[in-house]
Amino acid sequence: MSQTYISLLNQAFDESLKDNSKVMLFGLGVGDIGAVFGSTTNLQSKYGSERVFEIPLSENAVTGMALGLAMQGFRPVMMHQRADFSFTSAEQIINQIAKTSYMSGEVYKVPLVIRMIVGRGWGQGPTHAQSPHAIFSHVPGLQVVAPATPLDGYYLMKQSISSDIPVIFLEHRWLHQTTEGFIKNEHIPDLSEAKIMKSGKDLTFISLSYGVIECIKLAAVLSELNINAEVINLRSIQPWDKSTVLRSIEKTKNAVILDTGHIEFGLTGEVSSTIYSELFGLLSNPILRFGLPMEPTPSSASLALDHYPTIEKMLSEIKAHFGFKFDLAKAISIFNANFPYKSKHKDQPDIGAVGPF
């Protein structure tokens, strides 16, 4: 049976709360009618307001509180409806949470999760659409994960809660209504393991979170044009699964990296640098990088269209960069036929959600 990302995440919370009495969930909206976009529905009534609760809007103190709880053996999950609000608690995350285990000579474990939702579209704008995986990945002592599919969300959340390392769990708002069949006994991936979503021999797409969905679409279009692309879903950004990526590039000798964050000093630079260092001379072409330009994300739907790399723009750049001979107009029409937008507006996902969100 097919389930949405949100319902599987709710199930992951439910099972974690049930399996371990030390698990606690808190954040803005956790206990209200919206239940953080439905992800915490029914959990407060089921497990009580001692374990599942609303917070005062004091993200910094509440994040430090999560650390104090973790130092005492609890497993708190603190959540932000938008990742941008976590910056008010940067001090606790960067100076305290990331360093407590190290500074204590590993006497302390810090089993906590900070769930952050990344916004996009429908006017989210400069302070509600940031994807801060690169910022947190720069800090030793944190694990940073960014699921791309409903099952990723389910497994990564359960493993993040079980992990003794503090985890920043970044979740794209546009994934919430995506669906996937729940497969029992499927291979349960390690928290730091990337997943090959589609195998191919000509080109490797590397991405995270919602970017993986876009790469799957790009690969589907290319495949109708006889270009066989591999798609890697990183799942964990820090640490990232270098061996899966390098094995793939050894095979395809071509790489496209798509980031949901800004282009400079970020994921695309880090992954490119590793590929160039490890596989220097083996590449058929320079690495192609997509990401957000170095300007804040605009609110306006029309301005946002130029801000995010669209499928049309990416297909055009891929064709030019790798010297592919396909007809661009045909490629775009294949895309539109396979993945029709239900709305004429492209500042919202093509499935499920219509703003405001």
Partner 1 sequence: MNIALMNLIKKDFDSSNSKIQMFANLQLIRSVELLISDKYADQIFRCPVHLSIGQEAIAVGVSLNLKLEDKVVSTHRSHAHYIAKGGDLFAMLSELIGSPLGCCKGRGGSMHIFDKSVGFMASVPIVGSSLPIATGLALAEKHLNSGNTVVAFIGDAALETGAFYESLNLAALKNLPLLVVLEDNGYSTYSNKKVRWPDNKNVRETIEGMGVTYYNGSGDDVEEIYAQISSILSVVRNSKPSLVHLDTFRRYEHCGPSLDDGMGYRKPGEIESYIERDPIKILENKMISSGLISEILIKKLASQINSYVEDIFISMLKKNENYLKQFEMKK
Active site residues: 128
Pick from 105, 281, 323, 356: which binds partner 1 (CB under 8 A)? 105
Pair 130, 120: CB distance under 8 Å:
no
| In the complex, least distance from residue 60 CB atom to partner 1, rounded to whole angstroms | 6
The residue whose two tokens read 């204590």 is: 104
Pick from 9, 23, 28, 70: which binds partner 1 (CB under 8 A)? 70
The answer to whether residue 61 forms part of the interface with partner 1 (CB under 8 A) is yes
| In the complex, least distance from residue 69 CB atom to partner 1, rounded to whole angstroms | 4
Question: Which residues inside 298-327 make contact with partner 1, applying CB under 8 A?
Answer: none
SS (H, E, C) 314-349: HHHHHHHHHCCCCCHHHHHHHHHHHCCCCCCCCCCC
Scanning 27-35, 104-112, 134-142, 329-337 for contacts with partner 1 by CB under 8 A, the matching segment is 104-112
Pick from 1, 33, 56, 185: which binds partner 1 (CB under 8 A)? 56
Q: Which of 259, 192, 253 is nearest to 228 (CA)?
A: 253
Pick from 64, 123, 125, 269: which binds partner 1 (CB under 8 A)? 64
Scanning 34-42, 59-67, 206-214, 318-326 for contacts with partner 1 by CB under 8 A, the matching segment is 59-67
| In the complex, least distance from residue 40 CB atom to partner 1, rounded to whole angstroms | 19
Contacts of 45 (CB under 8 A, 6+ apart): none
DSSP track, 87-131: GGGHIIIIIIITTHHHHTTT------EEEEEEP-STT--TTT---
Backbone torsion region of residue 193, taken as left when φ is above 0, otherwise alpha when ψ lies between -120 and 50, otherwise beta: beta
Scanning 2-10, 11-19, 102-110, 320-328 for contacts with partner 1 by CB under 8 A, the matching segment is 102-110
The answer to whether residue 16 forms part of the interface with partner 1 (CB under 8 A) is no
Question: Which residues inside 111-150 make contact with partner 1, applying CB under 8 A?
Answer: none
The answer to whether residue 52 forms part of the interface with partner 1 (CB under 8 A) is no
Give CA separation, 231 vs 133, 222, 249, 258, 328, in Å. Answer: 20, 12, 11, 11, 21
The answer to whether residue 96 forms part of the interface with partner 1 (CB under 8 A) is yes
Q: Which of 284, 311, 305, 286 is nearest to 222 (CA)?
A: 311
The answer to whether residue 91 forms part of the interface with partner 1 (CB under 8 A) is yes
Residue numbers at the binding site for partner 1 (CB under 8 A): 50, 56, 58, 60-74, 76, 91-92, 95-96, 100, 102-105, 107-108
